[in-house]
Chains A and B, each alone.
Chain A
Amino acid sequence: MARRIPFQILSKAIAPRAFGALLLIVLGALLSGCVSFQSIRIVEGREIADPGDTLEVGRTTLGQVLSLLGAPDKLVELQGKDLLVYERMVLDEKRLSLGIPVADIWGARIDFSSYGTLIRYDTLALFFSPNGVLQDMVLEKGSIQPFLKVLFTEM
């Protein structure tokens, strides 16, 4: 016949850290549905590396750029120049919700939630003359900007 261990002896027998972890799991189970944290990340496109000195305005050709960076994500003709754009999009969303579902017994619902969504772009824009020579280039690395700092900065 199996011997039953009283709860007090069991709680003393397990290490305090394990008991803390157990407490967290129990609290999590009790709070699920009332408190939630959500984190979402969406990435579209490959990493845009800084071309550094490998591209030289007035000398680098379209063929060299295509063999170095591959196919661009966007192509546009702009006032007689050809614009090649390499782009990567990174979306980050964080959401925190606190709610107590007392609508059935009280008539009101206590609910607090906040969220922030930030879309950042890494963009390399290259302008070429009609004869295929690089005329200008612009690199913007949006993804290195910190999430909270950018989110709370006024435009």
Chain B
Amino acid sequence: MKASGCIIILVVTALSAGCLVMGKNKECQPFDSGELERLVPGRTTASEVSGIFGSPRQVVKMSNGNAYIYKRSVAKGTALWLLIVSLGNYDKQSDQVVFFFDNNDILTHYGASLDADKASYGLPF
């Protein structure tokens, strides 16, 4: 085989050796963050919150009551192989809602961070 033929085969092999993988993981807890508007600090009870949002992922004892934590997350992974270089990126973001209750199980505060849809595919730089 002539040299030009060898080079063409090598170039075609090199270019076709690249590979791209994209994946997605989800930790799902089916709560509706739109229901937050129904809550009234000072009036809503812990059982009402459980009735609306379901069972919390975690309950934490605080100095003046309890906190219920609801959490779900989305992770997006990208991997790229190009000849001798391989690049991987994994981005995990969460939706999290925390409710604070006093010792009488009345809602005092709540906070929500809704970032799960910000998880993105990409490269590690």
Contact = CB atoms under 8 A, between A and B. Distances in A.
Interface of A: 7, 10, 22, 25-26, 28-32, 35-46, 62-63, 65-67, 69-73, 75-77, 80-82, 92, 130-132
Interface of B: 2-4, 7, 10-11, 13-15, 17, 41, 60-64, 67, 69, 83-94, 96-98, 100, 108-115, 118, 124-125
Contacts, number: 123
Contacts of A45: 92-94
Contacts of A131: 64
A28 B84 contact: yes
The B interface, classified by DSSP as helix, strand, loop or mixed, is strand
Contacts of B100: 62
A interface majority secondary structure:
mixed
Contacts of B90: 40-43
Nearest to A66: B111
A48 to B, nearest CB: 11
A44 B119 CA distance: 9
Contact of A28 (B14, B63, B110, B115): B14
